Each structure stands twice: as structure tokens, then as C-alpha cells.
Chain A
Amino acid sequence: MRWPWLLLVGCVPELPYDGGLVDTPRVLAIRADPAEARPGTPVRYTALVATPDGEGAEPVEWAYCVTPRRAEERTAVSATCLAGEDLEPIGSDAAILADACTRFGPNSPPVEGDEAPRRPSDPDATGGYYLPVRASTAEASAFGAQRVRCDLAGATRDVFDAWQDRYTDNLNPVIDQLDVPMSVAPGTTVDLGVQSSSAEPYVVYVAERSRLLDRTEDLTAHWFVTGGTLRDGRTPLRDGYASTRWTAPDAGDVHLWVVLLDDRGGVDWVSTTVRISLEDR
């Protein structure tokens, strides 16, 4: 027998939260085309705005966050940008900041006078550097990231040359197929699937070993619905396929979105509507 009170030992509280349920307007994804480019390159940004009534049609305002994060900040962007400060408005068609590799990349920030050299930004686990982009509507906002192609810093000539030869800019993944029924009966549990063959190989520089490492991207599907219950809101793709299980609500059409992310900041998404119909019972 288990003593019920012992189950409380330093426990976190039960706070139900369904991150896959779109019950208020949300910016679910931000895509940059191209997904990775050098500073100064023209890019086009698009946002997936979801509302309980389907995809939102409100105009989206765009801005770059121009302040890097402090080392201890665990967030995607600096606290000042989260608070709506240090933002530089742009259009959906914009150019990557010319000094992006200095602000957010491996190049040392400029110094004045005889100041000591400043610490460049640290990469993520894929060796990437990102320029934060904010998309906001009247009711929702989110930050995305533009992966910036910066030169390799601190490597030997041989490694630098090899990296220049072998490194390829990231491409946005592509959803090849979505396995979702057109209509289901109320309360029915069905499997939903997504297929993609977009996982790209890439190289990452390992500074402490002074060598390049070959890797392949991981793809992850994130599921969102306006009704019903998802078993898993986030599913990694294995062999190019990911699935989750969804229990339909009792009534009404349900809007469904799948956001596909690669681990270098590439994005694709697809949406559909599922009819909840008694005829399918």
C-alpha cells in the first residue's frame, strides 16, 4: 500500500495545460526564406497566425530584436526585447542586419579606444547563430529566429577551408504528406501523421578538437488544434515520419496545424480542417 501523503514529497503541483490547444489567437511559427543567409541578404518573413476560428488574416508587424542576450538568460531573446524594447521595425521583406554576425555571431563586438576585446556570442549545439525576429498582431506575438551564415572564427586555415567547402546553408524543411482524416465522428480517437524527408546533413565545428563533425538534422512536428485532445503535442520524426493521437471533440469543425521544425531553425507548416460529423460514427 502506498501512503497517499507520501506522494506529496516535494512534488510539483498538478497544473493542467494543453499547449496544443488554440483557444486564443497565437503566432505559432515564423519562417524565413531563405532559412539561412549571410548578413545583408534580402529575406521574406511569414508568420503562421492561428485563431480558434482558423488561420488569422490580421496584418503582421515585424521587428528585429537588436540586443543580444546576457549569458545567464535562458530565453530565446533578451529580456529587453521580451519587454518590447530594443526592437527595430522591419517589413515582411527585409534584409538581414549587416552587423548580425557581430551582434549575434562569432565576430567580436566593436570596442572603443583601448577597451579589451569583447566576447562574441556563443553558438547553439548545431553551431548556429540567430537574429531574433518578432511577429506581432493586435492580439498575439512571438519571436522567431533568422539563422545567419557567419564565417568560422578561431579555426585553423585547414579547418576553415574545409568548413567553407562543406558547409551548406540550411533550407526550410518541407512537409511531404499529412495523414489526417477529412472528417471523424464526435469523440473518436484517430492517428494523425506527418511525413517529411527534409532532414539535411550538415557539419558543425568542434573547437576543442579543432575538427568538423558530420551530423544530420533532427525534425520535430508540433501539433495544434482548436478542439479535442492531443496525446502528444510534439513528436520527433523517425525515419521521416511522426504521428500523434487525437481525440475529436463532440461537435464543430476543428482546425489543425502541424509545424515542422528542423534543429537549425528551418520551418514549414500545413493546416487543414477536420469535420466532426455524426455520419462518421
Chain B
Amino acid sequence: MIWAVATALAQEPAPIEEIVVEADAVAPRDDVAEQVLEGDVAARIPGVQGDAVKAVQVLGGVARTPTGGDGLAIWGAAPAETRLYIDDVPVPRLFHRGGLRSVLPTPLVERLTVVPGAPGPRYGRGLGGVVQVRTAAPEPSWGGSVAVDPIDAAATLRAPGLQVGGRTGLLPHTLGPWVPESAVLPVPESWDAHARGRVELPNGDTLSLLVLAVDDQVERRLPAVLPDDRFVERSRSGFGRVGARVERFEGDVVTVSSGWVGVDGAGTQLALGDAKVREQTRVTAGGILLSQERTLTDAVTVSLGLDGQVGRTRIDRRGALSLPAREGDRQVLGQGPGDRVGVDTWTVRQAALGSFVGAALRPVPSLTLEPGLRFEPTMLDGDRVLPVRPTEPPVGYTELAIFTDPRLQLSAEPSQRLRIYAAGGRVHQPPDPADLSPVFGSPVLRPSRAWHALAGVVARPLSGLTAEVVGFGTSLRDLAVRPESPTPPTAALLASRGEGRTLGAQGTLRATAGALETFVTYTWMRAERRASGRDPWRLFDRDQTHGLQAALGWTRRRWELGTRLGLASGLPYTPVVDAVFDARGQRFDPLFGPYNAERLPLYVAVAVRAAWMRDTAWGRYRAWVDVQNATNQANPEAVFYTADYGREGLVRGLPILPVIGLEVAR
């Protein structure tokens, strides 16, 4: 079955007892609007090049990721507002630089879950939705696999209860020679490695271990508006995680205890002539999750838990004040960063101890109410509240914020073929440590908050046919934005006064008929932001009014064929209406029109996939060809101007990209 893109709610309703016993038993209760994709199914979606995690970009409500980008924008939330988890371990990103490959090899992916909005009380610290990758436990046998395609080469080795593996990127050798210097697409030197273990403890508990390391290096020359210039970018970023999880099943009680530690590191050097930017970031963090779900009666299940996280972030940045660019900044591709520079080194420590409680109440068998509450004191401690001056002693700060976020989900099943659901709640997100510099940002930023609301219906009018429609809305407050004044207060280059709102609707249709399966999802959405309550609303940088994914798959014996059509509104952009010569810099400065007043043309992409697989007594062989942008559509990704801003052209995205993959597994 190629197209088993499923919605949790599209599954047959099951009694609570069954949910507790099934569903991995350790997974907390499903969220009403979540979308679930099994790993082996995800890897076979055309256009993802056999990369299961990449299939998350195909799901409804997930905005198209621009070429070269690696962040997910879901239901109008910025990538930094969406929480990413591998099992219970938060990670900074799911993709290698450039976005062509995820950080997890497909054999390690058991299931993808996207909660686009209104998450349950066990989730916090993010204004948007949640993406969780559940890793597969190693099989209790010896074995291994090798796989190679133009993006990377991978190998895994498996012993009973343990799997280790690694991948090394091949893009510098395969795609790199064909990519010109002026390409927007980064071609990283990347690698990742993992270990996944599972041990049955003597007392019957299950211990799962996960070790993950990811690294990317990029050196490239980015286009600049001035023909003689090039941005030279050298960057290295990576992260490592070690996580452990113990699951215990005792009758009607499911207990999960997990913990993790990790480090993130990133270094970037960017130069455009004399303008240079250098940034080094190092994060050490760890966390625990203790949760218990207890079935009290047939009509009542309660869950409660603790979700703690501590972290220390140290950042050393020197260079242009305008970098890194923020959502809402007026700029064009290739524009210099300006002549003003700053220097700062700052450290932020964060500690949060979230506690959550929830209940599933079934007053009548067809109705489920799930009230919940998340209570989370969060402490921020920084080493500088003002820019460093030798004449003044360093003064730090400590802030304590307490979040109390109510959540509610409810669903009704008038019949076996119909489910109606609704959900809502409030979420908070502490400030990003990168924004807390007294030179480049502000140490006094407040946490951001958002309200989510959604309502939907799932129907199964015919066997093999599932249809779902959901409407959603979010309201965001206290977002960190640039200040209104050109001379803001000292140590306040950012202010917590931004606002956002999203309104949308999403429809999904899934049908199966024999060997054929089809999946169609369409999202209409309008995501807007503004710098303060006094400013007019304007389009969010990643707003995507229309998004359509339509796929058709056919499976027969050893063969699989599939195709997918993706349509998406072009990204909004701010037009340049005039330019004035800067005689000191000897370059033209653009004069911008209204913010995000224009939009790039429609994005259209067709992907095709064919695969052949054979199982033998020795093992499994699989070969596939995946053609991305099969019609070689010249999709626009950005606007590029001449140095005098007199003419403009479009930067095109990836052309037709066939990828052939070979896998051998035992």
C-alpha cells in the first residue's frame, strides 16, 4: 500500500482499553487533529527520494519548503515556532542543510506524527505545532543494510536489541560539480550517525536508547546584487543527542520515564567585501519526561506528567546588526548587510519544569472530552542586561515566568462512519536565547503566547474512502520583533510586541480501490503578522494561501508506481519601487514598496517514482528511481535585481532531479 497517509481520526474508533494496550502503549493520547504516517509508507511517496522524514513536507497544512531551506512552516507558524522531536528528544532540525535529506535514515523511522495545532497538554514551549518522529526498535536478529543514492551512502549493522548506522553525504561529489557558484542551493558536506537499542529489563520494563549525531559543513558563494561581489559563506552546524526511555506496563497503568542530554553547535562566517559576520553558538541541554496514564474506569482515563528541560546557550556574534535577517525585515536577495557592526558574547541559561495533567472523559460512548492543563514555571538567566562596557561592571538578570495553559479536545462519533472534533488551547514559548543579546537583541523579551482553535469532521462514507475537513485559527501575541523607533532604548533592539494570526481550512481525501490508492489534501490559509497592535496586518513571510498535494499510487507484487502533484502559492515578497545611489558605498540602495505586497508565481511540481523489490531467503533487495520536478517546471524561488534595481528576474528552483537508489537489507 503506497498511500496509507492516514489521519488518526480516520482510523476505526477504538475503546479506551484498546488504545491503552495498543498504540505503542507508551505513546501519550493522540491529539484530535494529528496526522500520522508510517515510516515505510512515507519513504515511498514520490519526490521524497526514499527519505521517510521528508514526507512530512507532503502532509496537509505544511507549507512548501523553499529550495535550500530546511525549516517547516505549519499552519502559519514559523519554523522556530514548531517543536521537533525524535522520540521524546527535542532536536533543532529534522533536515541536513539544504533540505535535500533528513537527519534520520529511513530504516530508523517507525512513524511520523504531525500535530499542526491545538496540541495536548504534554506539549509546550512552542507557539505552533509539533512534529514527532518515532524511531523503530531494532529487530531481535542479526542483520544489516546498505543503501546508496546520489544524496548519500548509508550502512547499518544490527544485533539483537541494537542497531548502529551512519550515513555520509555524497552531494559534493554528485550534485556539487553541476551546481554553479551562484546557486542558492547549499551543497553541504554532511554526515550523521545513530545507535538505537532496546532492552527488556528483568522486571518487565522496556529500556530504549537513542544516540544521534548530525553534522553539516557548507562553503559557498552566494549571489550579491553588486555584480563584482559575492557573499562567501562558511558554516558548520551539528547536534548530538543521547536519550533513554523506560516504559512500564502494569495493568491499566502505563508509565514512561525518559531523559536526554545533548549539545548543539553552529559556526557561521559570512563575508561580503569588508562586511563580515561571524557567529559561534554552543548549546548544552538536557531534559526529563515522566508521564503516567491510568485508566480509572471505562469512562475515565487520566494522565499526568513532568516535562523538564534545562539548557545553556553561549553565543559569540560580531558583525552587521541586520544579520541574521528576521521575519518582517525589508531586504532583497543578495543585498549587503549594511555598514554598522556590533560585537557581543552572551550566555543564557534556561530551566523549565512543566507539569501537565489531562483526562479523557467518556460520559457516553460516542463522546470524548479531554480537558488538560499545562503548568510550567520557566526561568531565564542571562549574564548581561546591558552591552559590555569596560567602565561598568557586568550585570546579569534572572527572570521567572509561569505559564498556565489550558487545553481542551473533544470528539463525538454519531456513527461508526462519522467523527466530529474540536480542540483549543493556549501555548507559550520562551524567548530564543539568540534574541537575548543586549547588543543584537534584548535581554528583557517576554515569552510569546498563542491561542489555537480548530474544528473538523471525518467521514468514511464508503469502504476505502475517507474524507476530512478541518478549520483552524491561531492568534499569536508578544512575538519578538524589531522596535518601532530607530533609537530604541538601550539593549532593546527587539521588543515583545509583535502579533500574528492565521485562519485556514484543510480538506483531505483518501481512497483505496484494489491496487490503486489516492491521496489529496488541500489547504487554504491566510497567515498575517504585524509589528504591534497599532500597525496594519501584513502577510507572513511564509504565508501560503493555497497548498495542494495530490498523489496516486499503484502496487502490484514487486512493483510500485506513484506520482504526485504539488501546487502551492508563491511566497510573498516586498517589491522594490525605486533606488537611490549611495556615493560612499558606491552602490544603489533600494526603496521598498508595501511589505509583502507582491507574490511569486504559483509553484507547480510533479514527482514520479517507480520501485522494484525482491525478498529472498538471504535478504531484501530494492531499487527505485524517484524523479523530482518531473516536468522540469522552472519554479520561481525569489526575485533578483540588477545592481541599480532597474530590472528584476526570478531565481529558479530545482530543475528535474532524478535520483536512483539501491538498498540491500538482511
Contacts and interface: CB of A to CB of B under 8 A. Distances in A.
B185 A10 contact: yes
Contact of B642 (A15, A29, A124): A15
Interface stretch (B285-293, B481-489, B522-530, B561-569): B481-489
Category for how many chain B residues contact A: 35 or more
Contacts of A195: none
Given A72-B321, A75-B582, A8 B227 contact: no
Contact of A5 (B274, B493, B656): B656
Given A19-B227, A19-B643, A76-B585, A10 B493 contact: no
A67 to B, nearest CB: 6
Contacts of B583: 27-30, 135, 142-144, 267
A75 B486 contact: no
B647 interface: yes
Nearest to B639: A13
B477 to A, nearest CB: 21
Interface residues of A, number: 74
**For the complex, would chain A's binding face be called helix, strand, loop or mixed by DSSP majority?**
loop
Interface in A66-117: 67-79, 82-83, 108-109, 115-117
A72 B482 contact: yes
B226 to A, nearest CB: 7
A17 B227 contact: yes
Nearest to A71: B321
A274 B335 CA distance: 34
A170 interface: no
B337 A11 contact: no
A208 to B, nearest CB: 5
B591 A12 contact: no
Contact of A156 (B179, B343, B390): B390
A75 B342 CA distance: 16
A17 B642 contact: yes
A210 B576 CA distance: 41
Contact of B632 (A5, A79, A83, A154): A5
Interface stretch (A52-60, A248-256, A257-265): A257-265
A68 B339 CA distance: 13
B604 interface: no
Contacts of A130: 584
B391 interface: yes
Interface in A1-56: 2-3, 5-15, 17, 19, 26-30
Interface of B: 67-68, 175, 177-180, 182-185, 223, 226-228, 274-276, 320-322, 325-326, 329-331, 333-345, 387-392, 482-483, 485-493, 578, 580-586, 589-592, 632, 634, 637, 640-644, 646-656
Task: List 9 A-B pairs, minimum CB-CB distance, nearest first.
Answer: A13-B649, A10-B184, A75-B589, A10-B185, A142-B581, A6-B178, A116-B489, A76-B582, A210-B390
Interface of A: 2-3, 5-15, 17, 19, 26-30, 67-79, 82-83, 108-109, 115-125, 130, 135, 140-145, 154-156, 159, 207-208, 210, 218, 220, 222, 232-234, 259, 261, 263, 265, 267
